[in-house]
Structure 1
Amino acid sequence: MPIKRNASAHWEGSGKDGKGTVSTASTVLNQTQYSFNTRFADGVGTNPEELVAAAHAGCFSMKLAFNLQGAGFTADSLDTKCTITLDTDSGSISESHLVVTASVPGIDQEKFQELVDDAEANCPISKLFNTKITVEASLA
């Protein structure tokens, strides 16, 4: 059965001088500010790339946890950072780079890497992207 989630954006003004807000149905984001400066400079607020990075890090971590569970392991911790690269010349996301550090009792590096590779390829957010995805994985 399909699960649907939603979020909304409101924008006022021009691309460079305007401003907007994003909100999620869960209200975790509730009229959170974004603008040209939060996307292309160091303004206070969020931006689409930061939100995509959070989604990819969270999705990848959960898929890896399921992979570990399926292989008979349980992570003490999975810490994933995602860096999204926005190519401003082409106006596209050119890369999503994941760095995961894990504490998984009893697993060896080879098995861990196999499960990481599967999570990279098969988490739903990875499947959504039409860009290069890279991962660095290490066991703590």
Structure 2
Amino acid sequence: MKRNATAVWNGDVKTGTGKISTQSTTLNNVQYSFKTRFEDGVGTNPEELVAAAHAGCFSMQLSAFLGEEGCKIESIQTKCEINLVEGSIIGSHLTVEAKIEGISDDKFQELVAKAEKNCPISKLLDTAITSTATLI
């Protein structure tokens, strides 16, 4: 499987603007700029897109591991916070809330840690990855 996205940038870094589109067209000419990245503005930014990818990938990986254990999954909600400092992503923190039947908290925490290390986006990121997980 291969997927792609395209970014087009016009102008200098501070006053220029860009548009991002994905192969699926879920994102279609979505605006991004210096303001949407470092200030307030309407549009997206690369770190927000990485956060969305990490949260989605992690949730799917956790569901796979839970399924292997025979658990009934009602919901998994994952928020990802990407930390950009001085031009480098220095961390990705996952906050997880899950409604799962048939699992102890200890086993749940074990599977969260396993998913944290094994989802494809986690493997891609060269940064510290942490998580806080709550079984509800």
The normalised TM-score by structure 2 is 0.99
Aligned-pair identity (%): 61
Q: Is the 8 A contact 1:33 1:45 kept in 2?
A: yes
Task: Name the CA distance, whole Å, in 2 between partners of 1:15 and 1:27.
Answer: 25
SS in 1 for 2:41: coil
What amino acid does structure 2 have at the position aligned with 1:110? D
* Cα distance per residue 1:28-77 (max 9 Å; x no partner): 00000000000000111000000000000000000000000011112100
Counterpart of 2:101 in structure 1 is 105
Q: Is the 8 A contact 2:72 2:102 kept in 1?
A: no
Task: Name the CA distance, whole Å, in 2 between partners of 1:42 and 1:84.
Answer: 17
Counterpart of 1:96 in structure 2 is 92
Q: How well do the aligned residues superpose, as a CA RMSD in angstroms? A: 0.5
Where does 1:1-140 land on structure 2 (aligned, <5 Å)? 3-87=1-85, 89=86, 91-140=87-136
SS in 1 for 2:98: strand
Q: How far 1:106 moved relative to its partner?
A: 1.6
Task: Name the CA distance, whole Å, in 1 between partners of 2:40 and 2:47.
Answer: 13
What amino acid does structure 1 have at the position aligned with 2:99? S
Q: How far 1:97 moved relative to its partner?
A: 0.3
SS in 2 for 1:45: coil
What amino acid does structure 1 have at the position aligned with 2:10? E
Name the structure with the higher strand share: 2
SS in 1 for 2:52: helix
Runs of 4+, deviation exceeding 2 Å: none
Aligned length: 136
Task: Name the CA distance, whole Å, in 2 between partners of 1:26 and 1:79.
Answer: 23
Task: Name the CA distance, whole Å, in 2 between partners of 1:95 and 1:136.
Answer: 14
SS in 2 for 1:26: coil
SS in 1 for 2:73: coil
The normalised TM-score by structure 1 is 0.96
